Amino acid sequence: MKLQQLLSYTRKAVDDYHMIQPKDKIAVGISGGKDSLTLLYALKNLQRFYPNPFTLLAISVNLGYEGFDLLPIKKLCEELDVPYYIVDTDIAKIIFEDRKEGSPCSLCAKMRKGALNQKAKELGCNKVAYAHHKDDIVETMMLSLIYEGRFYSFSPVTYLDRMDLTVLRPMMYVPEAEVIGFKNKYNLPVVKNPCSQDGFTRREYVKQLLRQLNLENPGVKNRMFTAIVNGNIKGWPPKQE
């Protein structure tokens, strides 16, 4: 995927759900993975021509894993002229040593997002951009159906009233396969996830299940995505026509 295609996907999401207003200050959550780095590229380049001027910065939450090196991300942000901040935490120690969590993913995500959102507020941001893509939205819906018995997926725009922050998901229309192509084409400096649970989660199970379903029923993931967008899910804003 070329940058032009990425910008087309991103602008459509931003326009469809009125994600960006003039003078917004947006923090991009950077995990070091392909998704968040692609989002950083997308918003930085959108910033150059989008009619609503906005400020951009990047934040990484360091979970405290030994040897987790964010220097490549710092260099990329310098190249893109995006201010970059690192929040050092003991989340890994708390989850795996102190609490010895058997199923750590939910708590880890909650603590990580909490640290990210708190730093964004400290820096004067009114919005935070998460790098969830099209496949993430479909996978979340399947997780909700299988394990919770409800039809749900996270919204393109979510207002967090306790934090007075708005969460954006500008990559909602970007298929994961296109993200992989973008990462390879532009040699993004992906930092490997050091978590021992990576690849052994319920989400990974659902990802493989959807892959098989799509092989046997070509286009089924796209149809599921359409069902989500048109499904009047509670909390989803109306799509702008």
- Average pLDDT on 1-20 reads 96
Provide the edge-to-edge strand list for the sheet that holds 54-62: 84-88, 54-62, 24-29, 127-129, 165-168, 157-160
Structure tokens at 151: 């039809």
Global pTM exceeds 0.75: yes
CATH value at residue 224: 3.40.50.620
Instruction: Tell me if 45 is assigned to some domain.
Output: yes
Instruction: Tell me if 25 is assigned to some domain.
Output: yes
Instruction: Tell me if 237 is assigned to some domain.
Output: no
Give the per-residue pLDDT at 78: 96
Percent of the chain at pLDDT > 90 equals 76
pLDDT digits (tens, 9 = 90+) for 113-138: 999 999 999 999 999 999 999 999 99
Instruction: Tell me if 236 is assigned to some domain.
Output: no
| Residue 9 CA neighbour count, 13 Å, CB half | 25
Instruction: Tell me if 202 is assigned to some domain.
Output: yes
Higher pLDDT, 123 or 191: 123
Give the per-residue pLDDT at 215: 95
- 23: alpha, beta or left, given left = phi > 0 and alpha = psi -120 to 50? left
pLDDT at residue 220 tops 90:
yes
Instruction: Tell me if 241 is assigned to some domain.
Output: no
User: DSSP assignment of the chain, as one string?
Assistant: --HHHHHHHHHHHHHHTT---TTEEEEEE--SSHHHHHHHHHHHHHHTT-SS-EEEEEEEEE---TT---HHHHHHHHHHT--EEEEE--HHHIIIIIS--SS-HHHHHHHHHHHHHHHHHHTT-SEEE----HHHHHHHHHHHHHHHSS-----SEEEETTTTEEEE-TTTT--HHHHHHHHHHTT--PPPP--TTTT-SHHHHHHHHHHHHHHHSTTHHHHHHHHHHTS--TTPPPPP-
CB 32 within 8 A of CB 38: no
pLDDT at residue 199 tops 60:
no
CB 40 within 8 A of CB 31: no
Give the per-residue pLDDT at 118: 94
- Average pLDDT on 148-154 reads 95
Domain range spanning residue 64? 3-229
Give the per-residue pLDDT at 115: 92
Confidence of residue 71 (pLDDT cuts 50, 70, 90): very high
Instruction: Tell me if 239 is assigned to some domain.
Output: no
Number of domains comprising the chain: 1
Instruction: Tell me if 80 is assigned to some domain.
Output: yes
> How far is Cα 87 from Cα 63, in angstroms, rounded to an integer?
9
